[in-house]
Amino acid sequence: MKKHKNVVIFLIKFFATYFILFAIYATYLQNSQQKEGGFKTASITTIVADQTVTLLEFFNFDAGAYQHKKELSVKLLIEGKYTARVIEGCNSLSIIILFIAFIIAFSGSLKATILYVILGSLFIYSINVARIAFLAVMIYKYPNQQEFLHNLVFPAIIYGTVFLLWVLWVHKFSNYKK
């Protein structure tokens, strides 16, 4: 058992952190989304959509984000064309929770862990807004490639970013670095 002590500690810290953060997030979603009497997405999802529009406008696209009237999503328009929708899974909070759980499970010093969680979460959030904008532009320009872009390119960007941040953490900052 002693030989597997680090694995057991990692798993306990990871799952405890993950389930606590996920419970907080699920409660937030339950209290902030609205399905009856008109759909309304959680404020974080709307903020992500609005920031995506701001980024698109920075690159001179005529963009807009509007609450979808028939589902829990925000419509993303480019040049007046409904290009994509931003749903709860697009706001990056689920992946940030996964990121944080891993960092805490492989914790380093308290200061390094807190700073890395904050800066890493902000970086993931920023990459996420950029990837939504990128996806929207690519779907606008290449609508026949929507499935490939959404199912392969889109996840590769966010999960690749998180994986690289995890590798950097373990090798440079965690207590498990060699």
- Residue-wise pLDDT for 45-82, tens only, equals 999 999 999 999 999 999 999 999 889 999 999 999 99
**Range 2-6 average pLDDT:** 78
**Range 142-156 average pLDDT:** 89
In a domain, 69, yes or no: yes
pLDDT at 35: 80
Please tell me the distance from the alpha carbon of residue 77 to that of residue 75, in angstroms, as a whole number.
6
pLDDT at 1: 61
In a domain, 32, yes or no: yes
pLDDT at 177: 57
pLDDT at 51: 98
In a domain, 114, yes or no: yes
Please tell me the distance from the alpha carbon of residue 59 to that of residue 7, in angstroms, as a whole number.
46
Task: Please give the tally of structural domains in the chain.
Answer: 1
In a domain, 177, yes or no: no
Identify the residue whose tokens are 């498990």. 176
Q: Please give the radius of gyration of the chain, using alpha carbons only, rounded to the nearest integer.
A: 19
Rounding to the nearest 10 degrees, give the CA dihedral for residues 65, 136, 42, 44. -100
Please tell me the distance from the alpha carbon of residue 118 to that of residue 3, in angstroms, as a whole number.
32
Please tell me the distance from the alpha carbon of residue 80 to that of residue 37, in angstroms, as a whole number.
27
Q: Residue 139: which domain range?
A: 2-172
In a domain, 22, yes or no: yes
- In sequence order, which ranges of 1-63 are alpha helices (DSSP H)? 5-32, 43-58
Q: What is the pTM of this model?
A: 0.92
In a domain, 9, yes or no: yes
Please tell me the distance from the alpha carbon of residue 68 to that of residue 90, in angstroms, as a whole number.
15
Alpha-carbon distance values, 23 to 27, 55, 73 (Å) = 6, 31, 21
pLDDT at 157: 92
pLDDT at 91: 93
Identify the residue whose tokens are 């929507």. 146
End-to-end CA distance of the chain: 23
In a domain, 153, yes or no: yes
Residue 105 confidence (pLDDT) above 60: yes
What angle (nearest 5°) sits at the alpha carbon of residue 96, between those of residues 114 and 127? 105
In a domain, 178, yes or no: no
